Homo-oligomer: A and B are copies of this chain.
């Protein structure tokens, strides 16, 4: 049984506010009352809140997870694992949305929030490697995602080329020959959109399929509406694709909507695959085949690495981890119905 402050208040016969004052040290409490509360704490086996311990050590007990797209469920799902792991280690994890804004990312990287946090897990998309290298504060930093490489910080990101290769290979195995890619992005060659494009291109080559410029559509952002618009464009081609590999699940879901609106069947006419395994794709009609990064693993490992650095545990040099991923096949490539379990 988890003992709550309320249990203690009842046992000690005092108010909740009094218990809170004793436990957290907010306000002075008379000695007799303090003893009563302490007795109740001892009897009930309450493990006192960690914030007092953190304060003594000069820490806040807060770690920040800074992400570029709050509206992408991928990050909320990853955060869930990170929040649980942080709680288990005695930290509170809060989320900050940078919206990919360069100045916001720069301020965070430079340590603008260091007085309120013990460490930062950061998925940057707009700042450069040089800017991260210019960082002068010592607040621990763990990078996730594909924004910045080759910096002296722990870094966790899936092998994007291998993941997209697996996605396209699955479409090839279903005998699809005109496979489109939605979500290409001009710009930084180290960004995940480009890496996924590379994996797509290599998988086509490995399958002996020709590469066609017309089947690659870039998008402004990575949302459902981007996927819908890109797919409408592909459906208007003289020879539309018979399969679509989307940069992520949100784009794939927008593409599926466009295919349905055009009266085409999924997967009979056009098969669809994404990346991320967001819960939405497990309940959509049709359900969405996807490549699933191990979000649980990424969230847990990022927090473990960060807390190890915060607490000065002996840790090896910064490491670069590629978390596992797996193909999850569903109705959007295999057909259905396949009831949700």
Contact = CB atoms under 8 A, between A and B. Distances in A.
Interface in A232-284: 253-254, 256-257, 260-261, 279-280, 282-284
A337 B168 CA distance: 30
Taken together, the copies of this chain in the complex come to 2
Interface stretch (A74-82, A198-206, A313-321): A74-82
A223 B80 CA distance: 15
Contacts of A322: none
Contacts of A223: 279
A4 B285 contact: no
Contacts of A97: 79-80, 83, 95
A4 B105 CA distance: 11
Nearest to A2: B103
Interface in A12-26: 15-17, 20-21, 24, 26
B17 A257 contact: no
B116 A283 contact: no
A112 B24 contact: yes
B17 A136 contact: yes
Contacts of A113: 51, 62, 92
A53 to B, nearest CB: 13
A112 B49 CA distance: 9
A102 B15 CA distance: 17
Given A49-B107, A92-B113, A96-B94, A283 B228 contact: yes
Interface centre among A94, A117, A280, A339 (most CB of B within 10 A): A94
B71 A20 contact: no
B112 A51 contact: yes
B285 A257 contact: yes
Contacts of A17: 110, 134-136
Interface string A123-158: 000000001001111000000000000000000000
Contact of A95 (B94, B135, B253): B94
Interface of A: 2, 4-6, 15-17, 20-21, 24, 26-27, 49, 51, 55, 60, 62, 64, 70-71, 73, 76-77, 79-80, 83, 92-97, 99, 102-103, 106-107, 110-117, 131, 134-137, 223-225, 228, 253-254, 256-257, 260-261, 279-280, 282-285, 337, 339-340
Q: Which 5 A-B pairs have the closest CB atoms?
A: A17-B136, A16-B134, A94-B94, A116-B116, A20-B110
